[in-house]
Structure 1
Amino acid sequence: MSFKKLIEPLQETLKAKGYAGMLPLQKLILSKIKGGTNLFVIAPQGSGKTTSLIISVINKLNGEAFEDAPRALIFVKDKQAALNLEAEFKEYTKGTDLRIYCAYEEHNMELQREEIYLGTDIVIATPKRLNRIFYLNGINLNELQLCIVEDAEFLFRNNHFAEVTRTPESIDKCQYLIFSTKFDDRFERWQDSFMYNSQIIKYS
């Protein structure tokens, strides 16, 4: 897979940002993600995991807003991580009309429910807040295509692993992508439950 196989707005953005070609990690995973494979992407900081995530989501959603329910859900560790990822997404969504929404604890939950109800394509959320909104019928996950965890090391603190594990119980069919610097043995539970036929891609 090459950048030429991405949607045109992404190609233009990557060109404007000075990308001459794919990073080695992107060569390993972008075509697999496009093909719908469930992946554990294990790679060090600075290898391009976040950029790969962003490119994959925008391309998978065809750069187009669609109805009201989100089609991509990305779990992050806290408010700052959510805002940072949102800012990075906005650098790559130029030329598209994709809507991005952040859900985190330090914000009024009723207001978040109302804002999500108005329509969004990509939700970046902390696990605890996402689950609270979901159980209050504040978010529709029926149209979800991608469920992602960024920098998944945080899952093994403060009960986040259990919080994220609850979400797939409410999703019919979805592609799962886990980005981390290491593979934890507890991920094997996900391989046995909802990440069927998943692949582990290790890059160092």
Structure 2
Amino acid sequence: MSFKKLNPEILEALEINDFEAPTPLQKKALPVIKGGANVFCIGSKGCGKTTTIVISVLQKLKCKAVGDAPRALILVETKAQALKLKEEFEKFIKPRTLRVYTAYDEQTLDQQREEIYYGQDILIATPKRLNKLYLMNSLDLSQLKLYIIEDAEFAEKGLYFAAINRIPESIDKCQYLVFAEKLSPRLKRFEDTFMYRAQVVSVK
């Protein structure tokens, strides 16, 4: 089975980056995500979760920059993970199309607020920095289409758990995706706060 029914720019990028066929996780997850469901994507390291995130975001945003407010918000635990994920997006994005921005603690808040204000499509952030921006009313969440947690095991920690649950309180309508190696009882609790009627897609 090959990749199909994706934006032509995504298909082109997959070919350029030598992705010949979807992984078992991608076969199962991409149609469900494309259908608009909230999804827990569960699989071991190397099963293709990161590429699933990239494809899902680009498909949802139609590979085009629109407006000023972020339309996809992705939470990661560390600066290194944020920068790595941005690199993965850049493999798929043509110059001057979608705008990807990373927010982490080493940057100044004023700089981040200004750069986000002037327009970003995809915001990759660590929970601590995202929470600061949120509490300072520096995030326009009115256009958000996707709220994603990558390698979500970190989200089980008390400090992060509360912050992650706080953000959806200000989101009107959005699709939520959580990617992890295991669906723990604590992660499953997100279903009570924002992952309503979530589907579980898992591979070994």
Q: Same fold (TM over 0.5)?
A: yes
For 1:95 and 1:113, locate their aligned partners in 2 and report how far apart those are by CA, in whole Å: 23
Runs ≥4 residues deviating over 4 A: none
Aligned-partner residue type, residue 60 of structure 1:
K
When the two chains are superposed, the root-mean-square deviation of aligned CA atoms in Å is 1.4
CA distance in 1, matches of 2:180, 2:79: 19
The equivalent of 2:64 in structure 1 is 64
Counterparts of 1:46-125 in structure 2, within 5 Å, are 46-94=46-94, 97-125=97-125
Point out the more displaced range, 71-80 or 158-167.
Answer: 158-167
**How many angstroms does 1:189 deviate by?**
2.3
User: Who is 1:149 aligned against?
Assistant: 149
* Stretches of structure 1 lacking an aligned partner (at least 5 in a row): none
Aligned to 2:9, the other structure's residue is in SS state helix
Cα distance in 1 between the residues matched to 2:163 and 2:47: 28
Paired residue for 1:44? Answer: 44
Aligned-partner residue type, residue 196 of structure 1: Y
| TM-score normalised by L of structure 1 | 0.96
- One-letter code aligned to 1:44: S
Amino acid at match of 1:132: K
Percent of residue pairs bearing the same amino acid type: 50
CA distance in structure 1 between the partners assigned to 2:181 and 2:91 by the alignment: 24
Correspondence for 1:198: 198
Number of residues paired by the alignment? 204
The worse-fitting range, judged by mean Cα deviation, of 113-122 and 154-163 is: 154-163
Gapped regions of structure 2 (runs ≥ 5) = none
Secondary structure class of the residue paired with 1:29? helix
1-structure distance, mates of 2:133, 2:120: 14
User: The residue matched to 1:93 in structure 2 has which SS?
Assistant: coil
Cα displacement string for residues 138-196 of structure 1 (whole angstroms, at most 9, x for unaligned residues): 11001100000000011123611111111111111110000000111012322122211
Q: Contact conserved, 1:64 with 1:96, CA < 8 A, in 2?
A: no
Q: Residue 11 of structure 1 aligns with which residue?
A: 11
